[in-house]
Amino acid sequence: MTAAVLTLNAGSSSLKVSLYPAEGETPLATALADRIGPEGRLILKDASGQALALGADPAAGVTQEQGAVQGLAASHAAAMEAIMAALLRRWPDLQLQAIGHRVVHGGAKRRGPARVDGDLLAELEALSPFAPLHQPHNLAGIRAALAAFPGVPQVACFDTAFHRDQPFINQTFALPRRFFAEGLRRYGFHGLSYEWVAGLLAEEVPAVAAGRVVVAHLGNGASLCALQGGRSIASTMGFSPLDGLAMGTRCGQIDPGVLLYLLQQKGLSAEAVSDLLYRESGLLGLSGLSNDMRQLEAAGSAEAAEAIAYFVARCQREIAAMAAALGGLDALVFCGGIGENAWRVRALICEGLGWMGVALDPERNAAGERVISCRGATRIVLVIPTNEEQVIARAARSLRDRSVDPAVAAEA
């Protein structure tokens, strides 16, 4: 029998699935479906990076190119079905012990992962208006898994949970207090990533983990977290994943007066403003070219350079703001697709932080070593590949033996 734990990360147009052994940290297989819809692509790999057969059938319009299959990811459910069929072909004796889900919003209460039952589903459903672009997809993923695997324990892991014990002043807006009670507060996101980084720091460099650390999760979505002794005390994302740093297509921090102008003077609809802020801004909006850092670095146009310069400048400002919240800085950690790979961007960000005692070793930085600061520098700078899936798998294992609410089957 191949006992295993499945992790699911369902985004608006993507689905990431990892299959972990019942005990063990290396995934048996990982799948990624992106651009879900008519153009959707699916790729499934085993632990060695070898693409696993997905049953491409040209007669059914399913084609395979360089391991990525087109025609099996028309919807989340279709992609899930194709992944599970392929996993069962590879491991016919597969037995799932638990399924862990990434859920963007856990609201004001959830401080850690939770077993999915009818009450939790209702609670998370009620939070959908707070994260309309993400939460419904996360919940659809849970519902699909409940229907496909009745009786398998399911665990929800929240991106907001890690930030719940931040001091009041870092969670509130300066609005009349009744709005805080209503849930209009800074939730912070990317919590699973920060939990991974905090755990790894505690294992590898406990003296650093005990201090004041700013973690920069720089991916298509980007945010910073201020860690004091491994706990989040402030973050740049706020009520929504729009605030803080400029991102691939999101604007980051913006004067709310701009929104009033767009709504009241320009007469834009709420949907149009939402599209503008979430999908048309950030690196894409400023460059007019792409949301992808690699493409911008390669482009060489003045607009692309300005988009990168804006991204870098906002990172510098917000890193300093996080350090102020911490009362100083002992370490800076980079993670996420840009943080882990874009060494030129890391160099640009750190160049502007010399006044804080940040000094990179150019060779270590270009080589992407774990420690990239100069020997003897007062602030240590690290690159730590994040691993949200591992955090979800651990949570699924730790909660799999809790009792199940029988109402779940009915809910599904």
Minimum distance of ligand ADP from residue 115's CB (angstroms): 26
Q: How far is CA 312 from CA 293, 352, 371, in A?
A: 12, 9, 20
Minimum distance of ligand ADP from residue 221's CB (angstroms): 4
> For residues 372 and 383, is the Cβ–Cβ distance under 8 A?
yes
Selected binder of ligand ADP within 219, 241, 244, 285 (CB under 6 A): 219
Q: Is 293 in the site for ligand ADP (CB under 6 A)?
A: yes
Minimum distance of ligand ADP from residue 341's CB (angstroms): 3
When the beta carbons of 171 and 390 are compared against ligand ADP, the nearer one is 390
Per-residue contact string for residues 223-252; x = within reach of ligand ADP by CB under 6 A = -------------------------x----
Mark the segment that binds ligand ADP (CB under 6 A) among 76-84, 199-207, 218-226, 234-242: 218-226
In terms of DSSP bridges, do strands 15-21 and 29-34 run parallel, antiparallel, or are they unpaired?
antiparallel
Segment 301-340, which members bind ligand ADP (CB under 6 A)?
336-338
Selected binder of ligand ADP within 13, 75, 220, 253 (CB under 6 A): 220
Q: Is 292 in the site for ligand ADP (CB under 6 A)?
A: yes
Number of residues lying near ligand ADP (CB under 6 A): 13
Selected binder of ligand ADP within 27, 221, 282, 285 (CB under 6 A): 221
What type of residue sits at position 117? Answer: D
Label each residue of the chain as H, E or C. Answer: CEEEEEEEEECCCCEEEEEEECCCCCCCEEEEEECCCCCCEEEEEECCCCECCCCCCHHHCCEEECCEEECCCCCHHHHHHHHHHHHHHHCCCEEEEEEEEEECCCCCCCCCCEECCHHHHHHHHHCHHHCCCCHHHHHHHHHHHHHHCCCCCEEEEECCHHHCCCCHHHHCCCCCCHHHHHCCCCCCCCHHHHHHHHHHHHHHCHHHHCCEEEEEEECCCEEEEEEECCEEEEECCCCCCCCCCCCCCCCCCCCHHHHHHHHHHCCCCHHHHHHHHHHCCHHHHHHCCCCCHHHHHHHCCHHHHHHHHHHHHHHHHHHHHHHHHHCCCCEEEEEHHHHHHCHHHHHHHHHCCHHHCCCECHHHHHHCCCECECCCCCCEEEECCCCHHHHHHHHHHHHCCCCCCCHHHHHC
Q: Which residue is nearest to ligand ADP (CB)?
A: 337
> For residues 293 and 308, is the Cβ–Cβ distance under 8 A?
yes
Selected binder of ligand ADP within 133, 341, 377, 411 (CB under 6 A): 341
Minimum distance of ligand ADP from residue 346's CB (angstroms): 10
Minimum distance of ligand ADP from residue 17's CB (angstroms): 15
* Residue 210 to residue 198: CA distance in whole angstroms: 10
Q: Is 19 in the site for ligand ADP (CB under 6 A)?
A: no
As a whole number of Å, the end-to-end CA separation of the chain is 27
Give the active site residue among 34, 117, 159, 243: 159
Minimum distance of ligand ADP from residue 336's CB (angstroms): 4
Selected binder of ligand ADP within 89, 109, 294, 402 (CB under 6 A): 294
When the beta carbons of 209 and 246 are compared against ligand ADP, the nearer one is 246
Segment 152-191, which members bind ligand ADP (CB under 6 A)?
none
When the beta carbons of 292 and 411 are compared against ligand ADP, the nearer one is 292
Minimum distance of ligand ADP from residue 15's CB (angstroms): 13
| 405 in active site | no
Q: Is 285 in the site for ligand ADP (CB under 6 A)?
A: no
Q: Is 216 in the site for ligand ADP (CB under 6 A)?
A: no
When the beta carbons of 338 and 408 are compared against ligand ADP, the nearer one is 338
Overall residue count recorded for the chain in this entry: 412
Selected binder of ligand ADP within 32, 342, 384, 395 (CB under 6 A): 342
When the beta carbons of 246 and 329 are compared against ligand ADP, the nearer one is 246
Query: Which residues here bind ligand ADP, judged by CB under 6 A?
Result: 219-221, 248, 292-294, 297, 336-338, 341-342
Provide the annotated active-site residues. 159
